[in-house]
A = this chain, B = another copy of it.
């Protein structure tokens, strides 16, 4: 029952995400909701391999400097301990019932809007989220059995905050630093 209630909240938030506008209304997204411990373990292991490679070799010095204030590293225990992971995929192509392929338009932009709405809905329900983008994320296709026509967009970690959770003191730009008003 508790499990069902939890999934109900997640499903309702995903229904909100599904109302997002998209290129030619083709809704070029897929959300894989992972609650199973075995699959979460596989995702954690694969992500940590990529992340070690990223922090030790692949990331530029500039990128590591940019990440430094956030205190992130290659350890991702939350991928196993969080109750839900939602892997978001964008679909470069869709498939009609007769098997024909249909091109999608603005799939990255559209999936971004849907995921923004998803995050808002989850927060509105009292849940906390963390956006995670292991680089690269191809392993998500394999583990979650998603076709090649789908590209991982991000991995959303979802749950109630732990009672001893620490949140980095993240600075936000002031409104005037990212908004201009044109009234003429």
Q: How many copies does the complex hold?
A: 2
Contact B66 A35 (CB under 8 A): no
Bound Cα distance from A179 to B102, whole angstroms:
19
Bound Cα distance from A36 to B23, whole angstroms:
28
What's the minimum C-beta distance from A15 to chain B, rounded to whole angstroms?
Answer: 6
Contact A66 B102 (CB under 8 A): yes
Count of interface residues, chain A, beta-carbon cutoff 8 Å: 67
Question: Which of B38, B39, B112, B118 is close to A111, meaning CB atoms less than 8 Å apart?
Answer: B112
Known pairs A14-B175, A25-B70, A27-B178 / 18 extra A-B pairs, C-beta < 8 Å: A18-B178, A20-B119, A23-B133, A24-B63, A30-B180, A33-B179, A34-B182, A35-B181, A35-B183, A39-B184, A60-B103, A66-B102, A108-B109, A113-B115, A114-B116, A116-B117, A117-B117, A144-B182
